[in-house]
Amino acid sequence: MNKPRNQPGFTLIELLVVVAIIALLVGIMLPALSSARSAARAVLCSSNQRQLATAWTMYADDHRGRTLPHRLTSGLTRTYWYGQENASTRSLDHRLGTLAPYLSSSPGDHSVYECPEQPAGSYHEQGQFGSFTSTYGYNAYALAPPTAGYFDLINQRWLRASDIHRPSELLLFCDTLIAFSSELPTNSALLDPPMLYSRLRGWLPNSSPTTSFRHGRSNTNPFADAIAAHADTSVARITHDPDALGIEHFGIGSASAANDPFYIQDWKHWRN
């Protein structure tokens, strides 16, 4: 039997051309894939916050219109909107949070409190016992000030949902982080306004804002967009106000330089 002749193969130049074409196609596709992933994360973040806003409304309906507290303390437990901390067991249980009964997520599932654009490992966890709290912040500073954890707010009025005059503008939940050092930011479950209240000195600029503009963020665009749920349960992207204080390398700032209209709408009428 005659041996078959050697079949002609690819030359080195032809192989290099094929590799170059593949590399070119990958280079073209990568930005589109990255953009698609970012868009998917934004959709999930919006869905999470819409669930939180709807649950907030249901809580108010069940409590004679009173808005959701940030924190309630009883003995060894502190119950937050996202979970309950127990000092005796040094643990946090998301199933016991104030909002948990109104959420559709399964018991113990904390994904609704977690923005997919801010993955674990990209920030320090602020939970007292090293437990995940939330990468969303609740606007308790405006809505339930005595529960926000600031001593200067204990005598301020706790609002009812009907007290909100422009619910389509007031932020309810939002992407949040806070920076305590130059290393990594820390997650924050409280949305702080651009100006903080002092009973002795009045309103002062907040040097540690917590609104995180992380959706679409890049080295050339540190202040991209934050996703926020408003008091009418609508969800939208918001941008950083260049006149507001900000921490550029973390993309943390405020959506306005003044508290009104996004953070505290009646701030000028707070009592001393």
**pLDDT computed for residue 4 by the predictor:** 55
Between 177 and 20, the more confident residue is: 177
> Which residues 6+ apart lie within 8 Å of 65 measured at CB?
160, 161, 162
What does the pLDDT average to over 152-180?
A: 96
**pLDDT computed for residue 271 by the predictor:** 76
- How far is it, in rounded angstroms, from Cα 217 to Cα 117? 10
> Which residues 6+ apart lie within 8 Å of 70 measured at CB?
80, 81, 138, 140, 144, 147, 148, 149, 189, 190
> Which residues 6+ apart lie within 8 Å of 62 measured at CB?
none
The band of 34, judged by pLDDT with boundaries at 50, 70 and 90, is low
What does the pLDDT average to over 94-104?
A: 93
- What's the token pair of residue 114? 């977690």
**pLDDT computed for residue 29 by the predictor:** 66
**pLDDT computed for residue 183 by the predictor:** 87
The band of 150, judged by pLDDT with boundaries at 50, 70 and 90, is very high
- What's the token pair of residue 168? 């389509």
The three-state secondary structure class of 106 is: coil
Query: pLDDT tens for residues 81-90?
Result: 999 999 888 8
**pLDDT computed for residue 52 by the predictor:** 97
Average confidence score pLDDT of the chain: 90
pTM of structure: 0.87
**pLDDT computed for residue 269 by the predictor:** 87
Query: pLDDT tens for residues 8-30?
Result: 666 777 677 778 877 777 677 66
pLDDT at 234 exceeding the cut of 60:
yes
**pLDDT computed for residue 188 by the predictor:** 96
- Please list the alpha-helical segments (H only) found in the chain: 12-62, 140-143
Which of 34-38, 65-69, 153-157, 207-211 bottoms out in mean pLDDT, i.e. has the lowest? 34-38
In residues, how long is the chain?
272
**pLDDT computed for residue 22 by the predictor:** 78
- How far is it, in rounded angstroms, from Cα 77 to Cα 86? 5
